[in-house]
Structure 1
Amino acid sequence: YNLHRKDRIDKSGGGLLLYTSKQINTLRRIDLEMQEIESMWIEVINIHQKPILLGYVYRPPNSNADWVTKFETMMLKVDTEEKETIIMGDFNIDIMSSKKHAKWSHIKNIFNMSQMVTEPTRVTKTSSTLIDHVYCNLPENINYIAVPKYSISDHYP
């Protein structure tokens, strides 16, 4: 496996980590990343198919409203690539309570992204939320998204 990681610069803990098979040709796309958004971009290069951009995002729970605007700026850059794009991560935005997040819904609609996860990803004794998202601009290419019910952390894997 190849290891891709992005450590937090100004905070302890956290960061992003991704393993890809050595049989898959990947390229880290630092040019698509922004300092203000904890994200990592990988391009999957296949000579028999169009390249795919994979984005990994973490949005801290106490992020201010400006985070969505910064995310939109990052996505404007990604959108110019005109490639199949899949973005996933812990957004800490509960899309099951959509009334609170109209601006977030607007952003995903601007970039023609479909949210593929349909069931809660974080369940406690008192709440059930869908805060881990998978978005793609070509949903017909996604066969199935599973949310395994394993309790290995406070989120399902």
Structure 2
Amino acid sequence: MIDLIAAEYEEFDILAFTESWLNSSHTDDSINLLNFHSPFRRDRGPQKLGGGLVVYVKNNLNVRRRPDLEIDEIEAIWLELKVQNKNILCGTFYIPPNSGHETWDKVETSLDMALNDNKDNIIVSGDFNENQLNISNSKVKALLNQFSLTQMIDEPTHFTENSTSLIDLIMTSNVNEISYCCVGPPLTDQIRYHCPVIDF
């Protein structure tokens, strides 16, 4: 899979993956991508399967991790990038299915800390496991309203044998900094799959 990712997405500056399923048995060297910084990871503990995050940033970009914006109980990575004299905060989240209010409260807290740090240039991406095509779902919408964020993806990103859903999202505090968003083709030919979401 690493070789496929390297071939398909070499031209992108930032690659953020949810449900990485990585743990301490996977070394950084085993998942490094050529021309990218060492991966930024958020693994689950050895007793928990699934989940996890990994983010790659091109090695010509100035980047640092912001653990002060991350909360232990949720799967999130915050990175600060300096791009054309602007500081941009990039957050990546994985919210497990059927997460309760406690999880969403911690997501809210993490976003609040990030926006207090840099409200002008924030990009948040990830798998939020709340279908935005279902108008009765309100947790993400509440966050968008509370923090004046715009959700950029408007078509399905997750497909099963008998359903489609929009759960992989890109949100921003400044739509003028994003010129284009789309849903890309899937990386695999499995029956159940996520499509990548892409922004420029």
**Match of 2:175, as an amino acid?**
P
- In the alignment, what sits opposite 1:88? 125
Which of 158, 163, 183 is 1:147 aligned to?
Answer: 183
Shift of 1:124: 2.3
Give me the whole-angstrom Cα distance separating, in 2, the residues matched to 1:98 and 1:72: 20
More RCO (CA 8 Å, sep 6+)? 1
2:63 is the counterpart of 1:39: no
Q: What fraction of aligned residue pairs are identical, expressed as a percent?
A: 35
Contact 2:51 2:96 in 1 (8 A): no
- Kindly report which structure 2 residues correspond to 1:1-157, keeping only aligned pairs within 5 A, or say none: 1-2=36-37, 3-9=39-45, 11-46=48-83, 48-82=84-118, 83-101=120-138, 103-150=139-186, 152=188, 154-157=193-196
Gaps of 5+ in 2: 1-35
Shift of 1:74: 1.2
Question: Residue 112 and residue 13 in structure 1: after superposition, are their counterparts in 2 closer, same or farther (change >3 A)?
Answer: same
Give me the whole-angstrom Cα distance separating, in 1, the residues matched to 2:108 and 2:175: 20
Contact 2:51 2:94 in 1 (8 A): no
Shift of 1:151: 5.0
Give me the whole-angstrom Cα distance separating, in 1, the residues matched to 2:146 and 2:133: 20
TM-score (norm 2): 0.73
Gaps of 5+ in 1: none
Deviates more, 1:121-130 or 1:22-31: 121-130
Give me the whole-angstrom Cα distance separating, in 2, the residues matched to 1:151 and 1:18: 17
Shift of 1:65: 2.6
* Segments ≥4 residues shifted beyond 6 Å: none
Give me the whole-angstrom Cα distance separating, in 2, the residues matched to 1:96 and 1:28: 32
Paired residues, number: 155
Shift of 1:149: 2.5
- Partner-residue secondary structure (3-state), 2:195: coil
Q: Describe the superposition over 1:123-146 as per-residue Cα deviations: whole angstroms up to 9, x where unpaired.
A: 223111000000000011111112
- Partner-residue secondary structure (3-state), 1:100: coil
Shift of 1:45: 1.5
